[in-house]
Amino acid sequence: MEFTIVGAGMAGAFLALSLGRQGHVVTVYDRRPDPRGATVAVTSMNLGLSRRGLAALDRLGLSEEVTRLVVPMRGRLLHNVDAGPRFSPYGDGGILAIQRQDLSALLVDAACREPGVRFVFETRCTGLDRDRPSATFEGPDGRSFEVRPDVVVGADGAFSAVRRFMHHELRAEFSQSYLEWGWRELHIPAAADGNHRMADDVFHLWPRGDTMMFAHPNRDGSFTCSCVLPFHGPDGFDSLRTPSDVEALFRREFPDVLALVPGLGEAFLRRPTFNLVTVSTAPWTYEGKVALIGDACHAVYPFLAQGMNSAFEDALELTDSLARHPTDPAAALARYYARRKPNTDALAAMSHRNFAELRDTVRSPAVRLERACDTLLEKVLRHRWMPLHAMVTNTTIPYLQAQHRASRQHRILKVLGAAALSAGAVAVGRRLRR
């Protein structure tokens, strides 16, 4: 079959490769330049490749190639303001830090090795006729042209044009929601000897309640940081107008980082601020003719680091569904949607909740206590108890199943907590009666 994919990001390039391997003919269009030449613009936080993503790359025989590009992170290191840093391991496998541009170039390269796959860059999708189906594009010379594949796939991100065209005047469910927090990227350069200036095998996390920061190690000795602040309020982006405003905030909240980035104030103010959006929509497909994958149909808050990992799962499920119904694309697309939608809905809910937890880790004793119990039970009940984060990150358990299991565990913790409280109350009562 013949496919047109709009968007050559992680989702689109991976899908092109996956479909190409099945012998399909695929053309991928992207309005941006070729990632193998140009510098890829920052559009999302650092990439964290976890078990699911790695399993997907492995299925396409890429895990070895990818391994050469990653920096493994075996756990997270919490940087506290008062006490020293605290380490908590990720468990099996950990998470692999990888730079967007590296992985993007690798995927495009690998896809281009398939005889049926080609990429067309700097070419924007300007229209879709979902019934034929056909799509129109405008190339770098300003000229328009039309293509007529069997299926058009929108892999064009949270603000997907394909989605908008596909849903036009249909009874489509759609919601978008933004956090009152945004983020900016910061760069911690390598030391003079080329080494990392902090531990290079962990995910660095500075949770501070209303503000927080993360850092991923890069292969060149540097770190890429994501600094998450509210838009408004005393520590908000709005209030940081001069380099000394920025430095005052860092001195108070992230003093160790301030020492590592020369000219931090100016560097911070030069960077653009990014939003944190979540998008949910239905349906994802139109007959056997149009489909959406990745952020185009389920953009989530990035704090569980599952955006790319879930997009790879989408692509494999779509490919598998087409293989299962080789002559019936409508049945294939329906199967793909039915199997993925409940899982990415669960991912969205978990990502939302995870943000609140990350924020409150530092403040709420209840959250800290539950985390501690979770980790303890994991050790005691090995394989029969697994914290949510571990199920999402270290396994390929479908998201929905992970969510159900986590909420069962949560209920057990609550019952245990209540039992502990009543036992305590009984003990106190006995003591008083004596």
Residues that bind its own copies (CB under 8 A): 171-178, 231, 275, 277
Closer CB to its own copies, 144 or 176, in the complex: 176
Q: Which long-range contacts (CB under 8 A, 24 or more apart) does 52-59 make?
A: 52/306, 52/309, 52/310, 52/312, 52/313, 52/395, 52/396, 53/308, 53/309, 53/312, 54/93, 54/96, 55/396, 56/14, 56/309, 56/312, 56/313, 56/315, 56/316, 57/312, 59/316
Cβ 384 to its own copies, closest distance in Å? 38
Cβ 171 to its own copies, closest distance in Å? 4
Tokens linked to 138: 């405008």
Closer CB to its own copies, 145 or 174, in the complex: 174
Residue 367's SS3 state is helix
Closer CB to its own copies, 80 or 275, in the complex: 275
Measured torsion, CA atoms of residues 37, 43, 48, 53, in degrees rounded to the nearest 10: -80
Cβ 9 to its own copies, closest distance in Å? 20
Q: CA dist 290 to 18, 152, 156, 302, 311, Å?
A: 17, 5, 13, 26, 17
Cβ 231 to its own copies, closest distance in Å? 8
Closer CB to its own copies, 262 or 272, in the complex: 272
CA–CA distance, 432 with 434 (Å, rounded to integer): 5
Cβ 337 to its own copies, closest distance in Å? 16
Closer CB to its own copies, 95 or 227, in the complex: 227
Q: CA dist 2 to 75, 116, 148, 150, Å?
A: 43, 9, 9, 5
Q: What residues does 26 pair with on adjacent strands? A: 3, 117
Q: Is 389 exposed, middle or buried (0-12, 13-18, 19+ CB in 10 A)?
A: buried
Tokens linked to 211: 């503000």
Cβ 238 to its own copies, closest distance in Å? 13
Closer CB to its own copies, 222 or 278, in the complex: 278
Cβ 419 to its own copies, closest distance in Å? 26
Cβ 170 to its own copies, closest distance in Å? 9
Closer CB to its own copies, 43 or 176, in the complex: 176
Q: Which long-range contacts (CB under 8 A, 24 or more apart) does 137-146 make?
A: 137/29
206: left (phi over 0), alpha (psi -120 to 50) or beta: beta
**Which stretches does DSSP call E strand in 208-276?**
212-217, 223-230
Closer CB to its own copies, 65 or 131, in the complex: 131
Q: What residues does 30 pair with on adjacent strands? A: none
Cβ 330 to its own copies, closest distance in Å? 16
Half-sphere exposure of 166 (CA within 13 A, CB side): 31
Closer CB to its own copies, 171 or 434, in the complex: 171
Q: What residues does 147 pair with on adjacent strands? A: 135
Contact 24, 1 (CB under 8 A): yes
Helix (H) / strand (E) element for 4: namely strand 2-6
Cβ 1 to its own copies, closest distance in Å? 28
Closer CB to its own copies, 34 or 287, in the complex: 287
Closer CB to its own copies, 232 or 410, in the complex: 232
Number of neighbours of residue 72 by Cβ within 10 angstroms: 16
CA-based radius of gyration for the chain: 23
Cβ 173 to its own copies, closest distance in Å? 5
